Chains A and B, each alone.
Chain A
Amino acid sequence: MKQKWALLAFIFTMITVLIGCEPLLVLDPKGPQAETLSNTIWISIFTMAVVVIVVLTLLINMLVKYRASKQPDDYEPPHIEASPIVESIIIGIPVLIVAFLSVVSVVSTYQVEDVPEGYEDQEPLVIYASSSNWKWHFSYPEQDIETVNYVFLPTDRPVEFRLYSHGPITSFWIPQLAGQKYAMADMITKINLVADSPGEYMGRNSNFSGEGFAKHVFNVTALSPDEFDTWVDEIHATAEPITEEKFDELLEPGHLGQLTFTGTHLEFAPAPEGEHGGHNHGSDDSHSEDNEDTSEHTNH
């Protein structure tokens, strides 16, 4: 048995060392949402570590004390009926732990779904992020620009990503800024996040979407608001406008580098929200009015 505990100790040390020398992405947050998540994860790790330690201690105790080699040959283990007190303890304590974590879960879930605290008064920057096989298209309706496979964000301003997909279900994930959310073809999902320090972050699709999935990634760059505005102006000065034809070309399956356009594809290929949402997506206009009333519940 000793070998196993040695092994477990080894693995535990390894984990600590690895965490020590280079912070893991998820536990190295660069914005309030990711920080909430990181804190939640640490709380649950510590709580759960207590459970594991208790179980391990009890187990080792039982194994050491009651192994056959330590007992006299004629020892007959007694018949023991469950004691109500012991039973209520082993029910009660897990109930308390689960109750505690439930509170943590509910509070943090509401927190990360909302605009981060302290940023509610600012108007969020809306960016539509849509996936196609195997690219990400970022449309900035406010700035009237569109990028492919990279996204620039102003720091200290809430950003609202509106996600949808031109193909299979994908999952939009920037581990250091916020948790992931699915992008689907027939509805919009939203991520609210804030980047509080400038830098470059990894973003990717984390939901398996076919052959090109492994390289379905994008770069996130957080800039100060001034630099962000400069970047937008530069694009308006240099980039080509996106056309329907060009956009259809971009949608073809494959990988592309980073591209920049003025205008957004939302003008000729609207996102599945409002009248274009839910089951109306893909149907012609004459029918979409009839079903106005039902599109709401599909956008929950």
Chain B
Amino acid sequence: MKIDHTQPLEYSTEQNQLNILGFWIFLGAEIMLFATLFASYFIYENRVGNGPSGGEIFEITPVLIETFVLLTSSFTIGLAINAMRLKRTKAMLVFLGITLLLGLGFLSVEIYEFMHYYHVGATLQTSAFTAILLTTLGTHGAHVTLGLFWGLFIMIQIKRRGLTPATANKSFIFSLYWHFLDVVWIFIFSFIYLKGMM
């Protein structure tokens, strides 16, 4: 592998550049995926059948915690990438670790939230509205879950192999993914929760 030292580590080989471009294209597909979910959500929003509406089941506290936690994790992964650029492996691992812990926190609160929906009688089967709500949140949650494992694997690799073009590349792509999930959450927060509670 030819390594180009004028570029940041994550861009330093040809394959690295391809990987990053490829991942951006993948994010394009992910945008379409969530856009379809949002479009469907807006159509089903008021089709609540016999079930509750959004305003009746949304709880502000867990949602605010989730939002705060996930936004913070987006900040910490930015710090991790910054540390990577400065070649400070240890700081990077610490920030990555914090990011993943925050992700785990987000996921726990989301699981609590789902339990709450279950208890108030808003399950997948209740109505088209609850189904699309849980599908949209669940798709995002599944992405976060996958991200937790992925991030953990990357941390292990950095620990074992140090900062190489390959591990730097993976970390950078993972940060793109994590930021993207954050952006999706902002949309979920605004257009599902806030809109539903207003």
Contacts and interface: CB of A to CB of B under 8 A. Distances in A.
A291 interface: yes
Contacts of B47: 278-279, 294, 298
Contact of B128 (A279, A284, A287, A294): A279
A198 interface: no
B49 A283 contact: yes
Nearest to B44: A279
Interface string B132-160: 00000000000000000000000000000
B16 to A, nearest CB: 40
B50 A287 contact: yes
B130 to A, nearest CB: 13
A92 interface: no
A291 B48 contact: yes
B196 to A, nearest CB: 14
Interface string A272-283: 000000110011
A220 B10 CA distance: 73
Contacts of B46: 279, 291, 294
Interface residues of A, number: 9
A287 B46 CA distance: 13
Interface SS of B by simple majority: loop
Contacts of B128: 279
A278 B50 CA distance: 13
B48 A279 contact: yes
A278 B43 CA distance: 12
A87 B5 CA distance: 48
Contacts, number: 17
Contact of B50 (A283, A294, A298): A283
A64 B149 CA distance: 66
B137 to A, nearest CB: 21
Interface in A136-173: none
B133 to A, nearest CB: 15
A290 to B, nearest CB: 8
A294 B47 CA distance: 8
B48 A284 contact: no
A298 B49 CA distance: 13
Interface string B68-90: 00000000000000000000000
Contacts of B49: 279, 282-283, 287
A127 B87 CA distance: 78
Interface string A256-292: 0000000000000000000000110011100100010
A279 B51 CA distance: 11
A294 B48 CA distance: 10
B36 to A, nearest CB: 20
A284 B46 CA distance: 16
A278 to B, nearest CB: 7
A287 B126 CA distance: 14
Contacts of A282: 49
Interface in B15-55: 46-50
A298 B47 CA distance: 10
Contacts of A283: 49-50
Given A279-B46, A283-B49, 12 more contacts: A278-B47, A279-B47, A279-B48, A279-B49, A283-B50, A287-B49, A287-B50, A291-B46, A291-B48, A294-B46, A294-B47, A298-B47
13 contacts: A279-B46, A279-B47, A279-B48, A279-B49, A279-B128, A282-B49, A283-B50, A284-B50, A287-B49, A291-B46, A294-B46, A294-B47, A298-B47
| 5 nearest A-B pairs in the assembled complex, by CB-CB distance | A279-B47, A294-B46, A283-B50, A283-B49, A287-B50
